A and B are shown apart, each in its own frame.
Chain A
Amino acid sequence: MLYNVLIDPFVQMAGAPDLFVQTIWEGLVAGVLYALIALGFVLIFKASGVFNFAQGMMVVFAALTLVGLHEKGVPAWAALLLTLGVMAILAIAVERVVLRPLVNQPDIILFMATFGLTFIIIGLGEFIFGGEPKQMIAEELGLPQGTMRFDVLGGKVLIQKIDVAAAVIASLMIAALALFFQYTRIGRALRAVADSHKAALSVGISLNQIWVIVWFAAGIVALITGIMWGARSDVSFALQVIALKALPVLILGGFTSIPGAIVGGLIIGIGEKLAEFYWGPLVGGGIENWVAFVIALIFLMVRPQGLFGDKIIERI
Protein backbone atom coordinates (compact mmCIF):
# COMPACT_ATOMS: atom_id res chain seq x y z
CA MET A 1 0.00 0.00 0.00
CA LEU A 2 2.65 2.47 1.09
CA TYR A 3 4.72 1.41 -1.86
CA ASN A 4 1.81 2.15 -4.18
CA VAL A 5 1.33 5.63 -2.76
CA LEU A 6 4.86 6.81 -2.08
CA ILE A 7 7.15 5.05 -4.50
CA ASP A 8 5.35 3.50 -7.44
CA PRO A 9 4.13 6.80 -8.99
CA PHE A 10 7.68 8.14 -9.08
CA VAL A 11 8.95 4.94 -10.64
CA GLN A 12 6.30 5.41 -13.32
CA MET A 13 7.36 9.02 -13.88
CA ALA A 14 10.99 8.01 -14.31
CA GLY A 15 10.05 5.01 -16.44
CA ALA A 16 8.10 7.00 -19.03
CA PRO A 17 9.49 10.56 -19.07
CA ASP A 18 7.56 11.49 -22.21
CA LEU A 19 4.28 10.76 -20.46
CA PHE A 20 5.49 12.75 -17.49
CA VAL A 21 6.27 15.74 -19.71
CA GLN A 22 2.88 15.39 -21.38
CA THR A 23 1.15 15.43 -18.00
CA ILE A 24 3.11 18.46 -16.85
CA TRP A 25 2.17 20.27 -20.06
CA GLU A 26 -1.52 19.46 -19.61
CA GLY A 27 -1.28 20.73 -16.05
CA LEU A 28 0.50 23.86 -17.16
CA VAL A 29 -2.26 24.70 -19.65
CA ALA A 30 -5.02 24.07 -17.12
CA GLY A 31 -2.98 26.11 -14.63
CA VAL A 32 -2.74 29.09 -16.95
CA LEU A 33 -6.51 29.07 -17.34
CA TYR A 34 -7.07 28.75 -13.59
CA ALA A 35 -4.67 31.63 -13.11
CA LEU A 36 -6.73 33.72 -15.54
CA ILE A 37 -9.93 33.13 -13.61
CA ALA A 38 -8.21 33.82 -10.30
CA LEU A 39 -6.79 37.02 -11.79
CA GLY A 40 -10.30 38.32 -12.38
CA PHE A 41 -11.11 37.75 -8.72
CA VAL A 42 -7.87 39.31 -7.51
CA LEU A 43 -8.34 42.48 -9.57
CA ILE A 44 -11.69 43.23 -8.01
CA PHE A 45 -10.74 42.07 -4.53
CA LYS A 46 -7.66 44.29 -4.52
CA ALA A 47 -9.45 47.45 -5.48
CA SER A 48 -12.73 47.10 -3.64
CA GLY A 49 -12.32 44.33 -1.08
CA VAL A 50 -15.23 42.50 -2.68
CA PHE A 51 -15.10 38.82 -3.43
CA ASN A 52 -16.89 38.90 -6.73
CA PHE A 53 -18.99 35.77 -6.85
CA ALA A 54 -20.15 36.75 -10.34
CA GLN A 55 -16.70 36.40 -11.90
CA GLY A 56 -17.39 32.87 -13.14
CA MET A 57 -20.65 34.01 -14.66
CA MET A 58 -18.95 36.98 -16.27
CA VAL A 59 -16.67 34.49 -18.07
CA VAL A 60 -19.69 32.63 -19.44
CA PHE A 61 -21.54 35.82 -20.29
CA ALA A 62 -18.57 37.27 -22.18
CA ALA A 63 -18.07 34.08 -24.18
CA LEU A 64 -21.79 33.79 -24.81
CA THR A 65 -22.06 37.36 -26.04
CA LEU A 66 -19.15 36.84 -28.40
CA VAL A 67 -20.53 33.63 -29.87
CA GLY A 68 -24.11 34.89 -29.87
CA LEU A 69 -23.20 38.03 -31.80
CA HIS A 70 -21.30 35.97 -34.31
CA GLU A 71 -24.30 33.68 -34.75
CA LYS A 72 -26.41 36.73 -35.57
CA GLY A 73 -24.05 37.46 -38.46
CA VAL A 74 -21.56 39.86 -36.94
CA PRO A 75 -17.99 39.20 -38.20
CA ALA A 76 -15.73 37.64 -35.56
CA TRP A 77 -13.48 40.65 -34.96
CA ALA A 78 -16.38 43.07 -34.80
CA ALA A 79 -18.10 40.71 -32.36
CA LEU A 80 -14.96 40.75 -30.22
CA LEU A 81 -14.95 44.55 -30.10
CA LEU A 82 -18.69 44.66 -29.42
CA THR A 83 -18.28 42.19 -26.58
CA LEU A 84 -15.62 44.43 -25.08
CA GLY A 85 -18.15 47.23 -25.29
CA VAL A 86 -20.75 45.10 -23.53
CA MET A 87 -18.29 44.32 -20.74
CA ALA A 88 -17.60 48.05 -20.37
CA ILE A 89 -21.33 48.73 -20.08
CA LEU A 90 -21.61 45.95 -17.52
CA ALA A 91 -18.79 47.53 -15.48
CA ILE A 92 -20.48 50.93 -15.52
CA ALA A 93 -23.84 49.41 -14.61
CA VAL A 94 -22.38 47.43 -11.72
CA GLU A 95 -20.69 50.54 -10.34
CA ARG A 96 -23.86 52.63 -10.61
CA VAL A 97 -26.43 50.13 -9.46
CA VAL A 98 -24.55 47.86 -7.08
CA LEU A 99 -21.38 49.42 -5.72
CA ARG A 100 -22.28 53.07 -5.37
CA PRO A 101 -25.40 52.59 -3.23
CA LEU A 102 -23.58 50.03 -1.08
CA VAL A 103 -20.39 51.99 -0.46
CA ASN A 104 -19.10 51.63 3.11
CA GLN A 105 -21.34 48.64 3.80
CA PRO A 106 -19.78 45.52 5.31
CA ASP A 107 -17.98 43.23 2.87
CA ILE A 108 -20.51 40.45 3.34
CA ILE A 109 -23.27 42.68 1.96
CA LEU A 110 -21.27 43.47 -1.13
CA PHE A 111 -20.51 39.78 -1.48
CA MET A 112 -24.22 38.96 -1.35
CA ALA A 113 -24.83 41.67 -3.93
CA THR A 114 -22.43 39.96 -6.34
CA PHE A 115 -24.34 36.77 -5.62
CA GLY A 116 -27.49 38.48 -6.85
CA LEU A 117 -25.57 39.90 -9.78
CA THR A 118 -24.68 36.34 -10.82
CA PHE A 119 -28.33 35.43 -11.24
CA ILE A 120 -29.13 38.61 -13.10
CA ILE A 121 -26.34 37.89 -15.55
CA ILE A 122 -27.48 34.26 -15.96
CA GLY A 123 -31.01 35.44 -16.68
CA LEU A 124 -29.81 38.10 -19.07
CA GLY A 125 -27.57 35.66 -20.92
CA GLU A 126 -30.30 33.04 -21.29
CA PHE A 127 -32.86 35.63 -22.30
CA ILE A 128 -30.76 37.10 -25.07
CA PHE A 129 -28.72 34.16 -26.34
CA GLY A 130 -30.65 31.10 -25.20
CA GLY A 131 -29.52 28.36 -22.87
CA GLU A 132 -28.14 25.70 -25.21
CA PRO A 133 -24.37 25.10 -25.45
CA LYS A 134 -22.58 26.82 -28.29
CA GLN A 135 -19.36 26.29 -30.21
CA MET A 136 -16.59 28.82 -29.55
CA ILE A 137 -15.59 30.65 -32.73
CA ALA A 138 -11.90 29.96 -32.16
CA GLU A 139 -11.09 29.48 -35.84
CA GLU A 140 -12.86 32.64 -36.92
CA LEU A 141 -10.89 34.62 -34.36
CA GLY A 142 -7.68 33.42 -35.96
CA LEU A 143 -6.64 31.12 -33.15
CA PRO A 144 -4.47 28.24 -34.37
CA GLN A 145 -6.02 24.79 -34.70
CA GLY A 146 -4.62 21.29 -34.70
CA THR A 147 -1.79 19.64 -32.84
CA MET A 148 1.97 19.55 -32.81
CA ARG A 149 4.17 16.57 -32.03
CA PHE A 150 7.52 16.76 -30.36
CA ASP A 151 10.10 14.09 -29.77
CA VAL A 152 10.90 14.18 -26.11
CA LEU A 153 13.11 11.76 -24.20
CA GLY A 154 12.49 8.90 -26.53
CA GLY A 155 8.75 9.39 -26.76
CA LYS A 156 6.23 11.72 -28.29
CA VAL A 157 4.48 14.66 -26.70
CA LEU A 158 1.28 15.98 -28.20
CA ILE A 159 0.60 19.67 -27.92
CA GLN A 160 -2.59 21.42 -28.99
CA LYS A 161 -1.79 24.64 -30.82
CA ILE A 162 -4.70 26.38 -29.14
CA ASP A 163 -3.10 25.61 -25.76
CA VAL A 164 0.11 27.27 -26.83
CA ALA A 165 -1.89 30.27 -27.95
CA ALA A 166 -3.72 30.33 -24.61
CA ALA A 167 -0.46 30.30 -22.69
CA VAL A 168 1.04 33.06 -24.84
CA ILE A 169 -2.03 35.29 -24.69
CA ALA A 170 -2.40 34.80 -20.95
CA SER A 171 1.26 35.67 -20.39
CA LEU A 172 0.95 38.79 -22.54
CA MET A 173 -2.13 39.90 -20.66
CA ILE A 174 -0.57 39.32 -17.27
CA ALA A 175 2.51 41.28 -18.36
CA ALA A 176 0.28 44.11 -19.60
CA LEU A 177 -1.61 44.18 -16.31
CA ALA A 178 1.64 44.23 -14.35
CA LEU A 179 2.92 47.18 -16.42
CA PHE A 180 -0.40 48.92 -16.01
CA PHE A 181 -0.41 48.51 -12.23
CA GLN A 182 3.23 49.42 -11.76
CA TYR A 183 3.79 52.34 -14.06
CA THR A 184 0.66 54.26 -14.90
CA ARG A 185 -1.06 56.99 -12.97
CA ILE A 186 -4.25 54.96 -12.91
CA GLY A 187 -2.36 51.85 -11.87
CA ARG A 188 -0.85 53.73 -8.97
CA ALA A 189 -4.29 55.03 -8.08
CA LEU A 190 -5.65 51.47 -8.18
CA ARG A 191 -3.01 50.27 -5.75
CA ALA A 192 -3.73 53.28 -3.58
CA VAL A 193 -7.45 52.52 -3.46
CA ALA A 194 -6.65 48.93 -2.54
CA ASP A 195 -4.69 50.11 0.50
CA SER A 196 -6.90 52.87 1.88
CA HIS A 197 -10.14 54.28 0.55
CA LYS A 198 -10.14 57.46 2.59
CA ALA A 199 -6.52 58.32 1.87
CA ALA A 200 -7.17 57.76 -1.83
CA LEU A 201 -10.18 60.05 -1.69
CA SER A 202 -8.18 62.73 0.10
CA VAL A 203 -5.66 63.01 -2.73
CA GLY A 204 -8.43 63.37 -5.26
CA ILE A 205 -8.75 59.85 -6.62
CA SER A 206 -12.32 59.14 -7.71
CA LEU A 207 -13.43 55.79 -6.29
CA ASN A 208 -16.27 55.52 -8.78
CA GLN A 209 -13.92 55.86 -11.72
CA ILE A 210 -11.49 53.33 -10.26
CA TRP A 211 -14.24 50.78 -9.70
CA VAL A 212 -15.44 51.07 -13.28
CA ILE A 213 -11.89 50.57 -14.53
CA VAL A 214 -11.33 47.56 -12.30
CA TRP A 215 -14.59 45.87 -13.24
CA PHE A 216 -13.88 46.52 -16.88
CA ALA A 217 -10.41 45.02 -16.51
CA ALA A 218 -11.99 42.00 -14.82
CA GLY A 219 -14.45 41.88 -17.74
CA ILE A 220 -11.61 41.78 -20.27
CA VAL A 221 -9.95 39.00 -18.29
CA ALA A 222 -13.30 37.20 -18.22
CA LEU A 223 -13.66 37.49 -22.00
CA ILE A 224 -10.21 36.06 -22.66
CA THR A 225 -10.78 33.28 -20.16
CA GLY A 226 -14.13 32.57 -21.81
CA ILE A 227 -12.58 32.32 -25.27
CA MET A 228 -9.82 29.98 -24.11
CA TRP A 229 -12.04 27.71 -22.00
CA GLY A 230 -14.75 27.81 -24.62
CA ALA A 231 -12.30 26.68 -27.27
CA ARG A 232 -11.45 23.57 -25.21
CA SER A 233 -15.02 22.65 -24.39
CA ASP A 234 -18.38 24.23 -25.27
CA VAL A 235 -19.64 27.64 -24.28
CA SER A 236 -22.39 26.83 -21.80
CA PHE A 237 -23.57 27.82 -18.37
CA ALA A 238 -21.84 24.74 -17.00
CA LEU A 239 -18.59 26.64 -17.56
CA GLN A 240 -19.22 28.78 -14.53
CA VAL A 241 -18.28 25.92 -12.22
CA ILE A 242 -14.69 26.41 -13.27
CA ALA A 243 -14.91 29.55 -11.18
CA LEU A 244 -15.01 27.23 -8.18
CA LYS A 245 -11.54 26.09 -9.17
CA ALA A 246 -10.39 29.66 -8.65
CA LEU A 247 -11.00 29.31 -4.91
CA PRO A 248 -8.17 26.89 -4.17
CA VAL A 249 -5.97 28.97 -6.46
CA LEU A 250 -6.79 32.09 -4.47
CA ILE A 251 -6.20 30.35 -1.16
CA LEU A 252 -2.83 29.24 -2.44
CA GLY A 253 -1.80 32.52 -4.00
CA GLY A 254 -3.42 34.98 -1.64
CA PHE A 255 -6.45 37.05 -2.49
CA THR A 256 -4.54 40.24 -3.15
CA SER A 257 -1.61 39.10 -5.20
CA ILE A 258 -1.36 38.95 -8.99
CA PRO A 259 1.85 36.87 -8.96
CA GLY A 260 0.09 34.70 -6.38
CA ALA A 261 -2.79 34.05 -8.76
CA ILE A 262 -0.35 32.98 -11.46
CA VAL A 263 1.82 30.73 -9.30
CA GLY A 264 -1.23 29.38 -7.47
CA GLY A 265 -2.94 28.58 -10.77
CA LEU A 266 0.10 26.72 -12.09
CA ILE A 267 0.55 24.73 -8.85
CA ILE A 268 -3.10 23.69 -8.81
CA GLY A 269 -3.15 22.92 -12.54
CA ILE A 270 0.00 20.80 -12.52
CA GLY A 271 -0.79 19.31 -9.11
CA GLU A 272 -4.20 18.00 -10.09
CA LYS A 273 -3.06 16.55 -13.41
CA LEU A 274 -0.16 14.73 -11.76
CA ALA A 275 -2.42 13.51 -8.97
CA GLU A 276 -5.04 12.31 -11.43
CA PHE A 277 -2.60 10.52 -13.66
CA TYR A 278 -0.31 8.89 -11.12
CA TRP A 279 -2.33 8.59 -7.94
CA GLY A 280 -5.84 8.55 -9.35
CA PRO A 281 -5.87 4.88 -10.40
CA LEU A 282 -5.28 3.88 -6.76
CA VAL A 283 -8.76 5.06 -5.83
CA GLY A 284 -10.41 4.42 -9.14
CA GLY A 285 -9.73 7.81 -10.76
CA GLY A 286 -11.74 11.00 -10.87
CA ILE A 287 -9.74 12.76 -8.18
CA GLU A 288 -9.04 15.74 -10.44
CA ASN A 289 -12.22 17.38 -9.25
CA TRP A 290 -11.36 17.53 -5.59
CA VAL A 291 -7.61 17.24 -5.21
CA ALA A 292 -7.22 21.00 -5.71
CA PHE A 293 -9.31 21.63 -2.62
CA VAL A 294 -7.23 19.18 -0.60
CA ILE A 295 -4.06 20.99 -1.64
CA ALA A 296 -5.72 24.27 -0.63
CA LEU A 297 -6.83 22.88 2.73
CA ILE A 298 -3.36 21.67 3.60
CA PHE A 299 -2.06 25.06 2.55
CA LEU A 300 -4.56 26.89 4.72
CA MET A 301 -3.21 25.13 7.78
CA VAL A 302 0.38 26.08 7.05
CA ARG A 303 0.12 29.51 5.48
CA PRO A 304 -3.35 31.05 5.77
CA GLN A 305 -2.41 34.28 4.00
CA GLY A 306 -1.33 32.40 0.88
CA LEU A 307 1.99 32.42 -0.91
CA PHE A 308 2.09 36.14 -1.62
CA GLY A 309 -0.95 37.50 0.17
CA ASP A 310 -0.80 40.23 2.78
CA LYS A 311 -0.04 38.82 6.16
CA ILE A 312 -2.75 39.92 8.53
CA ILE A 313 -1.32 41.26 11.74
CA GLU A 314 -3.77 42.75 14.13
CA ARG A 315 -2.46 45.09 16.78
CA ILE A 316 -4.17 44.61 20.11
Chain B
Amino acid sequence: MAETSTLSPGEIMLKVENVSLRFGGVKAITDVSFDIQKGEIRAIIGPNGAGKTSMLNVINGFYHPQDGTITYKGATRAKMKPYVAASQGIARTFQNVALFKGMSTLDNIMVGRTLKMKSNFFWQVFRHGPAMTEEIAHRRHVEEIIDFLEIEHIRKVPVGKLPYGLQKRVELGRALAMEPELLLLDEPMAGMNLEEKEDMCRFILDVKEQYGTTIALIEHDMGVVMDLSDRVVVLEYGRKIADGTPDEVKANQAVIDAYLGVAH
Protein backbone atom coordinates (compact mmCIF):
# COMPACT_ATOMS: atom_id res chain seq x y z
CA MET B 1 0.00 0.00 0.00
CA ALA B 2 2.68 2.50 0.92
CA GLU B 3 4.40 4.10 -1.99
CA THR B 4 7.79 2.71 -2.74
CA SER B 5 10.23 4.90 -0.94
CA THR B 6 13.79 5.43 -1.94
CA LEU B 7 14.81 4.76 1.64
CA SER B 8 15.56 1.26 2.87
CA PRO B 9 14.76 0.13 6.42
CA GLY B 10 17.05 1.54 9.06
CA GLU B 11 17.94 4.65 7.10
CA ILE B 12 17.04 7.99 8.61
CA MET B 13 13.68 9.16 7.31
CA LEU B 14 13.20 12.25 9.42
CA LYS B 15 15.74 14.23 11.33
CA VAL B 16 14.85 17.02 13.73
CA GLU B 17 17.80 19.26 14.56
CA ASN B 18 17.97 21.89 17.30
CA VAL B 19 14.31 22.76 16.98
CA SER B 20 12.94 25.48 19.23
CA LEU B 21 9.35 26.65 19.27
CA ARG B 22 7.98 29.58 21.24
CA PHE B 23 4.53 31.09 21.62
CA GLY B 24 5.29 34.61 22.73
CA GLY B 25 7.18 34.11 25.96
CA VAL B 26 6.16 30.47 26.39
CA LYS B 27 8.82 28.02 25.31
CA ALA B 28 7.05 24.92 24.01
CA ILE B 29 10.15 23.22 22.64
CA THR B 30 13.78 24.10 23.35
CA ASP B 31 16.66 22.85 21.23
CA VAL B 32 15.38 19.33 20.58
CA SER B 33 17.13 16.96 18.17
CA PHE B 34 16.24 13.38 17.30
CA ASP B 35 15.66 11.20 14.29
CA ILE B 36 13.21 8.64 13.02
CA GLN B 37 14.42 5.67 11.00
CA LYS B 38 12.57 4.10 8.15
CA GLY B 39 10.36 1.23 9.29
CA GLU B 40 10.61 1.77 13.03
CA ILE B 41 8.07 2.64 15.68
CA ARG B 42 9.37 5.68 17.46
CA ALA B 43 7.69 6.74 20.69
CA ILE B 44 7.70 10.28 22.05
CA ILE B 45 6.90 10.32 25.73
CA GLY B 46 6.99 12.78 28.59
CA PRO B 47 4.82 14.31 31.28
CA ASN B 48 1.87 16.54 30.33
CA GLY B 49 2.96 19.81 28.77
CA ALA B 50 6.34 18.44 27.75
CA GLY B 51 5.90 19.56 24.15
CA LYS B 52 5.10 16.22 22.56
CA THR B 53 2.08 17.34 20.56
CA SER B 54 3.88 20.55 19.62
CA MET B 55 6.64 18.35 18.21
CA LEU B 56 4.17 16.46 16.01
CA ASN B 57 2.66 19.78 14.94
CA VAL B 58 6.10 20.96 13.90
CA ILE B 59 6.73 17.78 11.91
CA ASN B 60 3.50 17.98 9.91
CA GLY B 61 3.71 21.72 9.39
CA PHE B 62 0.98 23.06 11.70
CA TYR B 63 3.60 24.96 13.70
CA HIS B 64 6.68 26.63 12.35
CA PRO B 65 9.66 26.51 14.71
CA GLN B 66 11.66 29.70 15.28
CA ASP B 67 14.95 27.82 15.24
CA GLY B 68 16.24 24.54 13.92
CA THR B 69 15.70 22.43 10.86
CA ILE B 70 13.79 19.36 9.87
CA THR B 71 15.15 16.98 7.27
CA TYR B 72 12.54 14.74 5.71
CA LYS B 73 13.57 12.16 3.10
CA GLY B 74 16.79 14.04 2.50
CA ALA B 75 15.29 17.49 2.03
CA THR B 76 16.03 20.03 4.76
CA ARG B 77 13.50 22.71 5.59
CA ALA B 78 12.79 25.15 8.35
CA LYS B 79 9.05 25.14 7.86
CA MET B 80 6.54 23.33 5.78
CA LYS B 81 2.86 23.79 4.99
CA PRO B 82 0.49 21.04 6.12
CA TYR B 83 -0.55 20.58 2.50
CA VAL B 84 3.04 19.86 1.45
CA ALA B 85 3.63 17.56 4.40
CA ALA B 86 0.51 15.60 3.51
CA SER B 87 1.42 15.32 -0.15
CA GLN B 88 4.89 14.05 0.76
CA GLY B 89 3.46 11.20 2.77
CA ILE B 90 3.11 12.45 6.32
CA ALA B 91 -0.25 11.51 7.86
CA ARG B 92 -1.44 11.96 11.42
CA THR B 93 -4.15 11.49 13.99
CA PHE B 94 -5.06 13.85 16.80
CA GLN B 95 -5.09 13.71 20.56
CA ASN B 96 -8.72 14.75 20.74
CA VAL B 97 -10.19 12.97 17.76
CA ALA B 98 -10.58 15.33 14.81
CA LEU B 99 -13.05 13.68 12.48
CA PHE B 100 -15.64 15.02 10.07
CA LYS B 101 -18.53 14.37 12.43
CA GLY B 102 -21.40 14.81 10.04
CA MET B 103 -19.97 12.38 7.49
CA SER B 104 -20.11 8.58 7.45
CA THR B 105 -17.14 6.37 8.29
CA LEU B 106 -16.77 5.62 4.60
CA ASP B 107 -16.76 9.31 3.60
CA ASN B 108 -14.32 10.17 6.37
CA ILE B 109 -11.84 7.64 5.09
CA MET B 110 -12.54 8.67 1.48
CA VAL B 111 -11.49 12.22 2.38
CA GLY B 112 -8.10 10.70 3.18
CA ARG B 113 -7.86 9.88 -0.54
CA THR B 114 -8.28 13.55 -1.56
CA LEU B 115 -4.69 13.99 -2.62
CA LYS B 116 -4.72 10.76 -4.64
CA MET B 117 -7.70 11.74 -6.77
CA LYS B 118 -6.92 13.31 -10.08
CA SER B 119 -9.95 13.10 -12.34
CA ASN B 120 -11.51 16.34 -13.40
CA PHE B 121 -14.39 18.08 -11.96
CA PHE B 122 -16.79 17.70 -14.85
CA TRP B 123 -16.71 13.91 -14.77
CA GLN B 124 -16.95 13.88 -11.02
CA VAL B 125 -20.21 15.80 -11.04
CA PHE B 126 -21.77 13.33 -13.42
CA ARG B 127 -20.10 10.26 -11.92
CA HIS B 128 -19.10 8.95 -15.29
CA GLY B 129 -16.11 8.05 -17.38
CA PRO B 130 -12.72 8.42 -15.75
CA ALA B 131 -14.18 9.72 -12.48
CA MET B 132 -16.26 6.57 -12.04
CA THR B 133 -13.27 4.30 -12.66
CA GLU B 134 -11.25 6.36 -10.23
CA GLU B 135 -13.96 6.45 -7.60
CA ILE B 136 -14.26 2.66 -7.80
CA ALA B 137 -10.50 2.19 -7.42
CA HIS B 138 -10.38 4.49 -4.42
CA ARG B 139 -13.46 2.93 -2.92
CA ARG B 140 -11.81 -0.48 -3.19
CA HIS B 141 -8.78 0.85 -1.40
CA VAL B 142 -10.94 2.34 1.34
CA GLU B 143 -12.83 -0.95 1.73
CA GLU B 144 -9.50 -2.71 2.25
CA ILE B 145 -8.69 -0.34 5.07
CA ILE B 146 -12.14 -0.83 6.55
CA ASP B 147 -11.57 -4.61 6.47
CA PHE B 148 -8.14 -4.17 7.96
CA LEU B 149 -9.44 -2.13 10.88
CA GLU B 150 -12.50 -4.38 11.32
CA ILE B 151 -15.03 -1.57 11.10
CA GLU B 152 -17.26 -2.99 8.35
CA HIS B 153 -20.33 -2.73 10.55
CA ILE B 154 -20.08 1.04 10.96
CA ARG B 155 -19.35 1.84 7.33
CA LYS B 156 -22.41 4.05 6.83
CA VAL B 157 -22.78 5.44 10.35
CA PRO B 158 -22.10 9.17 10.85
CA VAL B 159 -18.93 9.15 12.95
CA GLY B 160 -20.31 11.67 15.44
CA LYS B 161 -22.54 8.88 16.72
CA LEU B 162 -19.75 6.34 17.28
CA PRO B 163 -18.19 5.56 20.64
CA TYR B 164 -14.81 7.11 21.27
CA GLY B 165 -12.77 3.97 20.70
CA LEU B 166 -14.26 3.45 17.26
CA GLN B 167 -13.78 7.11 16.37
CA LYS B 168 -10.08 6.71 17.07
CA ARG B 169 -10.07 3.72 14.76
CA VAL B 170 -11.80 5.63 11.96
CA GLU B 171 -9.27 8.42 12.39
CA LEU B 172 -6.47 5.89 11.97
CA GLY B 173 -8.27 4.64 8.87
CA ARG B 174 -8.37 8.12 7.38
CA ALA B 175 -4.64 8.54 7.97
CA LEU B 176 -3.95 5.12 6.39
CA ALA B 177 -6.00 6.07 3.34
CA MET B 178 -3.33 8.63 2.54
CA GLU B 179 -0.86 5.75 2.09
CA PRO B 180 1.55 7.50 4.41
CA GLU B 181 5.23 6.82 4.63
CA LEU B 182 5.39 8.45 8.03
CA LEU B 183 2.42 8.09 10.34
CA LEU B 184 2.16 10.37 13.37
CA LEU B 185 -0.16 9.10 16.11
CA ASP B 186 -1.04 11.44 18.95
CA GLU B 187 -2.14 9.31 21.90
CA PRO B 188 -3.86 6.63 19.84
CA MET B 189 -4.99 4.82 22.98
CA ALA B 190 -6.13 7.70 25.16
CA GLY B 191 -9.44 7.03 26.85
CA MET B 192 -9.66 3.42 25.72
CA ASN B 193 -10.39 0.34 27.79
CA LEU B 194 -7.97 -2.57 27.92
CA GLU B 195 -9.56 -4.52 25.10
CA GLU B 196 -9.65 -1.50 22.80
CA LYS B 197 -6.03 -0.75 23.62
CA GLU B 198 -5.02 -4.29 22.70
CA ASP B 199 -6.86 -3.98 19.40
CA MET B 200 -5.17 -0.67 18.66
CA CYS B 201 -1.73 -2.12 19.49
CA ARG B 202 -2.39 -4.95 17.09
CA PHE B 203 -3.41 -2.53 14.33
CA ILE B 204 -0.32 -0.40 14.84
CA LEU B 205 1.97 -3.42 14.63
CA ASP B 206 0.08 -4.70 11.59
CA VAL B 207 0.40 -1.35 9.84
CA LYS B 208 4.13 -1.45 10.38
CA GLU B 209 4.44 -5.04 9.22
CA GLN B 210 2.04 -5.13 6.29
CA TYR B 211 2.67 -1.71 4.83
CA GLY B 212 6.16 -0.97 6.10
CA THR B 213 4.93 2.38 7.40
CA THR B 214 7.21 4.31 9.72
CA ILE B 215 5.36 5.35 12.85
CA ALA B 216 5.95 8.06 15.44
CA LEU B 217 3.60 7.89 18.39
CA ILE B 218 2.86 9.78 21.56
CA GLU B 219 1.48 7.65 24.36
CA HIS B 220 1.08 7.82 28.10
CA ASP B 221 0.54 4.13 28.77
CA MET B 222 4.08 2.99 29.53
CA GLY B 223 3.28 -0.69 29.09
CA VAL B 224 2.12 0.03 25.54
CA VAL B 225 5.10 2.24 24.78
CA MET B 226 7.64 -0.30 25.99
CA ASP B 227 5.96 -3.15 24.09
CA LEU B 228 5.43 -1.38 20.81
CA SER B 229 8.29 0.92 20.20
CA ASP B 230 11.74 0.30 18.81
CA ARG B 231 13.16 3.53 20.20
CA VAL B 232 11.87 6.13 22.62
CA VAL B 233 12.59 9.83 22.96
CA VAL B 234 11.66 11.50 26.26
CA LEU B 235 10.75 15.18 26.56
CA GLU B 236 10.31 17.25 29.69
CA TYR B 237 9.49 20.96 29.78
CA GLY B 238 10.24 21.14 26.06
CA ARG B 239 13.72 19.63 26.35
CA LYS B 240 14.95 16.21 25.40
CA ILE B 241 16.08 14.32 28.49
CA ALA B 242 16.62 10.83 27.09
CA ASP B 243 16.70 8.93 23.82
CA GLY B 244 17.21 5.22 23.21
CA THR B 245 15.69 1.75 23.31
CA PRO B 246 12.84 1.16 25.76
CA ASP B 247 15.18 -0.63 28.16
CA GLU B 248 17.75 2.15 28.12
CA VAL B 249 15.09 4.77 28.71
CA LYS B 250 13.54 2.79 31.54
CA ALA B 251 16.89 2.71 33.34
CA ASN B 252 17.64 6.41 32.75
CA GLN B 253 17.76 8.38 36.00
CA ALA B 254 16.53 11.64 34.43
CA VAL B 255 13.46 9.84 33.11
CA ILE B 256 12.70 8.25 36.46
CA ASP B 257 13.02 11.67 38.11
CA ALA B 258 10.76 13.29 35.54
CA TYR B 259 8.03 10.73 36.05
CA LEU B 260 8.32 10.12 39.76
CA GLY B 261 9.67 13.47 40.91
CA VAL B 262 12.87 14.15 42.81
CA ALA B 263 13.29 14.63 46.54
CA HIS B 264 14.24 18.20 47.31
Contact = CB atoms under 8 A, between A and B. Distances in A.
B82 A310 contact: no
A316 to B, nearest CB: 15
DSSP class of A's interface residues: helix, strand, loop or mixed?
A: helix
A205 interface: yes
A195 B102 contact: yes
A204 B101 contact: no
Given A191-B102, A192-B103, 20 more contacts: A176-B125, A184-B121, A188-B114, A189-B111, A191-B100, A191-B103, A192-B100, A195-B102, A196-B98, A196-B100, A196-B101, A198-B62, A199-B94, A201-B83, A202-B82, A202-B86, A202-B98, A203-B114, A204-B83, A310-B102
Q: Closest 4 interchain pairs by CB?
A: A204-B86, A199-B98, A195-B100, A184-B124
Contact of B125 (A184, A189, A202, A310): A184
Given A184-B121, A192-B100, A195-B100, A202 B114 contact: no
Interface in B131-181: 174-175, 178
Contact of A196 (B62, B99, B178): B99
B240 interface: no
B106 to A, nearest CB: 11
Contact of B94 (A176, A189, A198): A198
**Max count, chain B CB within 10 A of own CB: residue among A179, A185, A186, A206:** A185
Nearest to B87: A204
A183 B121 CA distance: 10
Given A198-B62, A202-B82, A185 B102 contact: no
A204 B115 CA distance: 6
Interface residues of B, number: 31
Contacts of B100: 191-192, 194-196, 199-200
A290 interface: no
Given A188-B111, A198-B62, A203 B99 contact: no
Nearest to A197: B98
B98 to A, nearest CB: 4
A203 B92 CA distance: 8
A119 interface: no
B60 A203 contact: no
Nearest to A189: B114
A77 interface: no
Interface in B160-204: 174-175, 178
B105 to A, nearest CB: 13
A10 interface: no
Contact of A206 (B83, B121, B125): B83
Interface residues of A, number: 24
Nearest to A196: B98
Contacts of A184: 121, 124-125
**Max count, chain B CB within 10 A of own CB: residue among A180, A184, A186:** A184
Contacts of A202: 60, 82, 86, 91-92, 94, 98, 175
Interface of B: 60, 62, 82-83, 85-87, 91-92, 94, 98-103, 107, 110-112, 114-115, 117, 119, 121, 124-125, 127, 174-175, 178
B121 A186 contact: yes
Given A192-B100, A195-B100, A198-B94, A203 B124 contact: no
A224 B101 CA distance: 32
Contacts of B101: 195-196
A194 B103 CA distance: 11
Nearest to B178: A203
A109 to B, nearest CB: 19
A201 B124 contact: no
B114 A204 contact: yes
Contacts of A200: 100, 111
Contact of A183 (B82, B115, B127, B174): B127
Interface in A153-190: 176, 179-180, 183-186, 188-189
B178 to A, nearest CB: 6
B107 A179 contact: no
A239 B174 CA distance: 45
A179 B174 contact: no
A10 to B, nearest CB: 40
A202 B93 CA distance: 8
A23 B82 CA distance: 54
Contacts of A186: 121, 124
26 contacts: A183-B124, A183-B125, A183-B127, A184-B121, A185-B119, A188-B107, A188-B111, A188-B114, A194-B102, A195-B99, A195-B103, A196-B101, A199-B99, A200-B111, A201-B62, A201-B82, A201-B86, A202-B82, A202-B86, A202-B98, A202-B175, A203-B91, A203-B178, A204-B178, A205-B114, A310-B102
